[in-house]
Structure formats: structure tokens, C-alpha cells
Structure 1
Amino acid sequence: MTAALECEGLVKRYGSLLAVDGLKFSVTEGEAYGLLGPNGSGKSTTIEMVVGVLIPDSGTVRVHGHEMARHPLRAKRLVGYVPQEVALYPDLTGRENLRYFGRLFGLRGQRLRRRVAEVLDVVGLADRADERLGTYSGGMQRRVNIAAGLVHEPKVLVLDEPTVGVDPQSRNAILESVERLVAGGTTVLYTSHYMEEVERVCDRVGIIDRGRIIAEGRPEELMATLSPGGRAEVEVDGDVQAAGVAVAALPGVAVTVADHRPRLLLVTWTEGADRLPDVLQALNGVAAVVRTAAVRPSLEEVFLHLTGTSLRD
């Protein structure tokens, strides 16, 4: 498949600090790629090099084959950047903001009016377009921020923490907009600290730490690496301790009682696609099974497992 974005051997130093260390990843055309990393991982520096506001010490960024360093105008024209902070003018209306950013990319006349109308529709703000931006809610401002990154019809859209500080309804509206863009063929590079968002919108994920990609794959593939077997919740009615002993006697199976729910057994196994039938057989005659539910590892668990739990800046 055609690569829309390629980062190869990126290195960036700030004095003695090596912020990005030979980083390499690529995003195929029409794909949503999540770039995740803790504070101090080099993620923000990487984003700045991808969009061309920061020059790498070495390495290459290509957008649809155009090298950012050698052909910056061609490459930047293909990229839409939506930063963490809302970068708009509060005294202008939503429509006026979008016209301004469209003109920066050379749009004029009917084409500009058409694109402004289209992106307002994408973010669901056509009915509020002629109100001053300063009267918009935080979520609405972030949606216009996305529209500003889209107005020049970029091939690659970089969304850096697009839902920070917004209410659940606005977050859902933003995610729905991203899903529609990806379905329509737009390539998206997405960063967020909300792992459920990444699971929802991203086809693949790269986890960056200390300036390098340390894991990469589809969300379900990364989650499978944390628990190659499986996990389940089993709620019982009867002697919970005896039930735990019976399940723990199974080879390759571990069990604990949930702290917050004393009738709930948390069962894990390291081999086999599904050991739940064995668990239920072991409980036969020991305790009545009230409910069972398969539990899969979360992307957040994978992230913490790979990067550690201690806070770093």
C-alpha cells in the first residue's frame, strides 16, 4: 500500500538531551495511526518535525513522497495540523476564521466558499458558523480548530490531543468527525492520552518512549501481547473460597477474588484460546455460577506495561 507519511531515522537533540533517537514509522494512505507516549517520550518533538515546524538534526520526513526538508512547501501543503491549543481568532466568526486559514493556503472565490461550507458540515457547525468564535463552547472551538486544519484539503491530518478539556458530547462529536474523515480516505496521525479514543479511531498504534518506537501494531494485537491466554470474570453464589481453590487447581489457571466484589472470581490463563469451559466444569458442585464475562486487556494496560507507571517529565 502507498505510504502517505514516512518518518525515517529521525534524531533531535536539545543540548545534551536526546529527545528523538532514530525514530522510524510510516502511515499508509487512508489509515488512522495513533502515536502514544508518556511525558518526555519525544512525542511532541516528533509531531513538530512531522508538520515541518521543527527541523530534525538527521533523518527524513516524507509526505506522499515529498521530503519535508527539501520541498517544505509541497510537503506542508499536503498536511493539516490541529494543535493541542485552539489556534483561532475569538473576535472572528467561525466562518471568518476558516476563510482566513483557507486564504493562507491560496484558496479564493467559489473554491474557498465551497471548502468552508464542506468542513463546517464535517464538524457539524454549519448552523453556528456566523457567530463570533468567542461565544462558542470549548468543544465547539475545538471542532472549528479541526475544520481549520481541513479547509485546504490535506492528504494527511495531524490531530494532537484534539479532545482535551471537552465534555463527553463534544468528544463524541469530534471522534465521529474523525471516523468520517478516515472512512472518506483521509490519512490521520492521532495523539491522545485517552486510550479508549485511540482504540476507537485508530487502525494501528505506535508507542514511543525515550525517542523510539518500542511497540507497534493494531490495538488488538498489542493487547494480545499482554495476555496471550485469556481472562474472565466469574460471579458465584456459595462458598467463594472453595470455588477459588477448585479453579486454582486447574493447570495453567490463576484465580483471585475481587477486592470490591467478594463473590467475583478473576480468572486468568496463559495458554489456550478459551479455558472458561474448564473453569465452569471445576465449579460444578462447588458453587453456583451466576454470571461469566470475558475480559480483555486494555490498551492503557499495555501502555503502562511498556512504559512503566512512574511519572516522568
Structure 2
Amino acid sequence: MYYKIKEDGIFKIDLGTFWDSGECVGVFKMTEWDNEKILWEKCGIWHTVDEIHFCKMESHRDFLYGTFQMPAKEYGKKDELFAIYILKDRVIILSDDDSIDKNIIKISGHAIAKDYSLERFIYDFFMSFIEDELLFLQKIEHKITGIEEQVMKEQSDKFNIGLLKLKKIIARFYHYYTQLAEAGDELAGNEEEFFTEETVELFKMYSEKMTRLAQETQILREYAMQVQDVYQSEIEIHQNDVMKMLTIVTTIFLPLTLIAGWYGMNFSYMPELKMKYAYPTVIGISVLIVVVSLVIFKRKKYW
């Protein structure tokens, strides 16, 4: 798809108009760009697209070049990948899916700033990918809060799986926002003087917003770590309770085991074996030991 940037908005155009007029945006397939060297010649760009693994911007003599990997926010969806070339009078975007065109159409449907320009479009284009980031981070926070409540209610059978997934998402988006902040700094640096001072200020605002989002993500990471610490504390408390109960049982039955072992030796000259009330006496002593032990443990608040 090809678009013309005018003062009053963004309009679709054909390929011929795209090459013949300035202030235009072209969206090409990655394979189309790599295979059709005539596109390089027409754009004045002799540059191969790198394999996209993260977000970055680079300043070259006649153009700015960037690659972007937008992490998927929903399970099962693919990351959005695209490369971008920014020239004086046009923008070339390379992508193999339809998300870029959808974003541009969405931008064109919004209120257009007065005296709209290609520079302002570039800013709006990057901002279109982060419109719902605070809401997304808020949803993650609510999920962590839900896990924390489960821990406190001792209903945390799947705690490790749930929190591990959230920590991976948080870590990934932290790096994502940090990379976008660096890309914003590169644009705001304006080394080749592609942008006006007004647009540079917009990119500075963009970079600052990315930095704040990274900070928010870092807060979520710390919150997740705190919840994990609470979970570990609950496990330790439970283990301590189990060990305490085992200690109580062992302490109570140790003297009983001694008595049973002592009289179980069946020596011929043990006088107690011939006493009429020896058996109930041993039972009474055993019961007394159990009762006294329980009273002592109760007073010591062992249970």
C-alpha cells in the first residue's frame, strides 16, 4: 500500500504517484524489497535488511534505518516485525503482514494535527504501537495481585507456572520498552538534520514515555519478586509446622518406645512380669506421659 501525506491528512495513492511525489509512505513486503534492486535504485538506498530480533534505529548519511520487533500481548499470536527507512521526503516500511497498513489506516482515522507532515506521521506511527501499554501493564498487575491472593488463601497449586509466565512477559516488555527508548533517543539526536526542532521535541517526549513504561515494568518485576518471596515464606512456615508436629510426636513416643522396649526384653527375673497390676500400671504410666507431654507442649505454645 502507498500513502500520500498532506496537510489535511493521509490518503491512499497508487505506485506511480508514490514515486512521482514527495511526502509519501510506502509499505513493501520484505521479500519484495530484497529481490527487487530497482526499488533500491529508485529510493537511493543500497542496504540489506538485517534479520529482526529487537528494536533499534541507526543513522546513515542519507537515511535513517530501523528494525522493530513488537512482542505479542496475547498467547498464540506472533510478534510484529518490520523494518523502516526514513528519507527526506518519504518513508519505506517493510513488513510481511497486514498490521502496518492497519496502523496507518487507524492513524488516518484519528484527528489530524494542523499542518500535518511526514515528520508528524513518523511520530504518530511509532506512538500507534504503544497506545494501550498502560492498560496492558495494569492487566499484568491484576494477574499478579490475583496470584498473591491465592497464596494468602493457600490456593496456590499452580503458583510457579503462573508467576513464571508473568515474569517472562514482564522481562520481555522491559527490554522492549528500553529498546524503544533508545530508538527514540536516536531519532531525537537528529544527526543528519532530518527533522525540525518541533519534531525533535516530540521524539524526546516519546523516549521519555518509553523510559517511564520501562520503569513501570520494573516495578511490576519487583512486585512479582515480592509475591514469590511471600510464597516461599508460606512454604517455609508450612514446612516448619510439619517439622514441629513431627518433633512433638517423636518427643511423646520416645519414652513410650523406651518402656515398650524395656519390658519387651522378657528377662526371666523381671519382677514386674509377675505382679498382678503390672500391666495396667504400665498403661497408666504411658497415658500419664502422653498427657503431661501434651500439657507441656500446650503451655509452651508449640501447637
Task: Tell me the TM-score normalized by structure 2.
Answer: 0.22
Greater per-residue helix proportion? 2
TM-score with structure 1 setting the length: 0.21
Which has a greater percent of strand? 1
Greater relative CO, 1 or 2 (CA 8 Å, sep 6+):
1
Larger Rg: 2
